[in-house]
Chains A and B, each alone.
Chain A
């Protein structure tokens, strides 16, 4: 990276706190800062709650409260992001926890079933890495949708049809996976080489559905 690129990346991280409302706007900031190609730390402060501190370089974060103990609709979140030198120590004591846990929670919650603003209606999505579902709160629908996204490029309507879920459910997982950096996203109208079968969702007697029923999941 040239020094000009480094300076640009550093300035992109921002200075001083930005004040935003709600997890949706916070997610937009996290998404923006998470793509900056230099090590960045971020601090999110919700009034009357302990801060959430993110170390993007190590893909870890620290917070003394679980995410579900924060307000669903925080009135104000003060966000500070700072570019740091490669190899800088973590911005919190200890090793922190995996950032995916926070990004999953924010992504699922933030837009309440609407599309994250960085996604476009014409996009198609394919999984680039599986989330570690044993470490994340999940439903069987999320597992099924993730498996579908692992098999081919899908649009939002195709994902809904293949998994027999609502637009809101499908959009939540797309928001979360994209915030985590777990999706390939392609725009435009070009059709993929592999497409979902027309009768794809008509599998009530499939093994997944039957096991799910048997295990009460």
Chain B
């Protein structure tokens, strides 16, 4: 059976679990515990191991959706899953402390996926914090990684159509990179050199 692993990462409270719930065809497997960091994200529970959902393509093939915990103390889960991952949806809530810095931090952590075009960014909670803007994120990422153009969308994880747009963008971005090859110089060009 082929598997296509997509990670949902980002700080606690960004909407990862909700995003997976909107995309998954099965009831999402959740591993939650009481949130002891209410000052960081004001919610009663938080993911401590992973969330899991899936989209079944056929009896041989599934898209596996893994939400991994946002807190650093659970980053052993990141190591386990990123080796298998085809791509990553990075959700960042705009009312977080230094949301752009957090985004850059995650992109550095998942640099291999980033390098092969396997990352999309969804900015959440813009209704609460309208800034920084998509342009601000793009400008900051261009400084950190000038050779990469990352899709950055404003999203509401509760909106299924927006989550599908995010997922399809990620898959398109990954697949199209494989459609290019290095050009072989023509004989005349080689002679001219």
How many pairs, one residue from A and one from B, have CB atoms within 8 Å of each other in the complex? 108
Q: Which of the four size classes fits the interface of chain B?
A: 35 or more
| Choice from A146, A152, A206 contacting B175 with Cβ under 8 Å | A206
Q: Are B180 and A203 in contact (CB under 8 A)?
A: no
Chain A residues within an 8 Å CB radius of B174 = 207
Chain A residues within an 8 Å CB radius of B150 = 130
Q: How close is A139's CB to chain B, nearest CB, in angstroms?
A: 10
| Choice from B63, B154, B176, B180 contacting A211 with Cβ under 8 Å | B63
Chain A residues within an 8 Å CB radius of B181 = 194-195, 197
Q: Are B179 and A211 in contact (CB under 8 A)?
A: no
| Interface of B: prevailing SS | mixed
Q: Are B169 and A195 in contact (CB under 8 A)?
A: no
Q: Are B169 and A143 in contact (CB under 8 A)?
A: yes
Cα–Cα distance between A211 and B23 once the two chains are bound (Å): 11
User: Which residues of B from 135 to 167 have beta carbons under 8 Å from A?
Assistant: 135, 138, 149-155, 159, 162, 164-167
User: Which residues of B from 85 to 141 have beta carbons under 8 Å from A?
Assistant: 117, 134-135, 138
The answer to whether the Cβ of B45 comes within 8 Å of any Cβ in the partner chain is no
Q: Are A214 and B168 in contact (CB under 8 A)?
A: no
Q: Are B180 and A143 in contact (CB under 8 A)?
A: no
The answer to whether the Cβ of A191 comes within 8 Å of any Cβ in the partner chain is yes
Q: Are B57 and A132 in contact (CB under 8 A)?
A: no
| Choice from A162, A191, A203 contacting B183 with Cβ under 8 Å | A191
Q: With A206-B175, A211-B57 in contact, is A151–B180 under 8 Å at CB? A: yes
Chain B residues within an 8 Å CB radius of A197 = 179-181
Smallest Cβ-Cβ distance to A211: which chain B residue: B171
| Choice from A59, A130, A191, A195 contacting B149 with Cβ under 8 Å | A130
Chain B residues within an 8 Å CB radius of A207 = 4, 57, 63, 171, 174-175
| Residues of chain A at the chain B interface (Cβ within 8 Å) | 59, 127-130, 132-135, 138, 140, 143-144, 146-148, 150-152, 162, 191-197, 200, 203, 206-208, 210-212, 214-215, 217
Known A128-B149, A200-B180; 16 more pairs at CB < 8 Å? A129-B149, A130-B151, A130-B152, A133-B169, A138-B165, A143-B169, A148-B176, A151-B117, A162-B179, A191-B183, A194-B180, A197-B181, A207-B57, A208-B168, A211-B55, A214-B57
| Residues of chain B at the chain A interface (Cβ within 8 Å) | 4, 55-58, 61, 63, 117, 134-135, 138, 149-155, 159, 162, 164-169, 171-177, 179-183
